[in-house]
Amino acid sequence: MSKTITNKKHLEYLLSIKKERRNIRIVQLLIFLSFFSMWEISSKQGWINPLLFSSPSKIWSLFLEKASDGSLYIHVAFTLGETVLGFILGTLFGTLLAALLWWSPFLSRVLDPYLVVLNAMPKVALGPILIVAIGPNFGSIIAMGILISVIITTLVVYTAFQNVDENYVKVVRSFGGDKKQCFKEVILPACFPSIISSLKVNVGLSWVGVIVGEFLVSKQGLGYMIIYGFQVFNFTLVLMSLLIIAVMATLMYQGVEYLESKLIKHHS
């Protein structure tokens, strides 16, 4: 095949990829627009109860109002701060605990049944106890965010530690490296991909923990706005908070994905 024909074929191929991607975007946008317009129309026409389901235009005007009087920022900032702290600390403690288990096989075998029970238990059920123990404040919300993600992180990361190819450890040991150096040079860096992927799971989990924590503590934050809106039957407020949470959680997930692409470029 001559070069010009090959080039032409290649261009056609690139064009077809581009076209497909554009079609996907268009359909995604259509779904988005039709969902919100259907919502708006059915609410206006009374097909759905506007008191319960509100409407996008009402939510938007409430959003503008709350944004202009500044009260929204405080709530968003609180929830976001708690979530970020919860998921960073959850991942950190989980990884530390996994390291401890890796360090001492004895401890790992002793703790095994306890970890299974703790993992199976619904952590949000501990909420009331946390509030009694720590107090109805910031602290118990963070604790909730950590608690919900720490055990699963421990289990996932510990499994990853165990699955590192023994031969890398052998290389370090043949150079006289001790257990600490094996961990630092091999086990931990080899498991960065698993740690990052547990970070991804923890973004979602921490939102659950923090929102439930705010339900219970009921002082401020998006969770508080939801529970307050529910109590005073202001579902516009509830739905607005929900939409903000959806946007925030997505942004955070994207952030972790960006981090992933930066950190583990060379792991294969």
Partner 1 sequence: MAFLQLKSVGQTYFSKTSATTALEDISLSINEGEFTSILGPSGCGKSTLLSIIAGLLVPTAGSVMVNNQTVNQPHPKIGYMLQQDYLFPWKTIEDNITLGLKLRNQNSKEHIQAAFRLLKEIGLEHTKSKYPSELSGGMRQRVALVRTLATQPKMLLLDEPFSALDYQTKLKLEDLVSSTLKEHGKTAILVTHDIGEAIAMSDHVILLSSNPGRIFRTFKIPETLKSLLPFEARQHPDFSATFQQIWEELEHIEQNDHEQETS
Smallest gap, in angstroms, from Cβ of residue 163 to partner 1?
15
- Which residue stretches of the chain are H helix? 3-45, 50-53, 56-68, 71-103, 105-120, 127-134, 138-162, 166-174, 179-182, 188-190, 192-217, 222-231, 235-263
How many residues bind partner 1, per CB under 8 A?
21
Residue 11 in tokens: 């261009």
Nearest residue (CB) to partner 1, 43 versus 198 = 198
- Interacting residues with partner 1 between 191 and 250 (CB under 8 A): 192
Which range touches partner 1 (CB under 8 A), out of 46-54, 184-192, 228-236, 242-250? 184-192
Please identify which residue in 171, 247, 251, 259 interacts with partner 1, judged by CB under 8 A: 171
Sign of CA dihedral 218, 220, 221, 224: positive
CB distance 201 to 252 below 8 Å: no
Helix (H, G, I), strand (E, B) or coil at 16: helix
Q: Is 259 in the site for partner 1 (CB under 8 A)?
A: no
Which range touches partner 1 (CB under 8 A), out of 38-46, 86-94, 124-132, 167-175? 167-175
Which range touches partner 1 (CB under 8 A), out of 22-30, 31-39, 101-109, 180-188? 180-188
Q: Is 164 in the site for partner 1 (CB under 8 A)?
A: no
Please provide the size of the chain in residues. 268
Nearest residue (CB) to partner 1, 146 versus 191 = 191
Residue 56 in tokens: 């996008």
Q: Is 134 in the site for partner 1 (CB under 8 A)?
A: no
The single residue listed with the structure tokens 């403690």 is: 93
Q: In sequence order, which residues have a C-beta less than 8 Å from that of residue 67 and are 6 or more positions away?
A: 73
Largest CA distance in the chain: 78
Q: Is 40 in the site for partner 1 (CB under 8 A)?
A: no
Q: Is 260 in the site for partner 1 (CB under 8 A)?
A: no
Nearest residue (CB) to partner 1, 172 versus 225 = 172
Instruction: Provide the 10 A C-beta neighbour count for residue 61.
Output: 13
Smallest gap, in angstroms, from Cβ of residue 98 to partner 1?
19
Nearest residue (CB) to partner 1, 3 versus 266 = 266
Residues binding partner 1 (CB under 8 A): 165, 167-168, 170-177, 181, 185-186, 189-190, 192, 264, 266-268
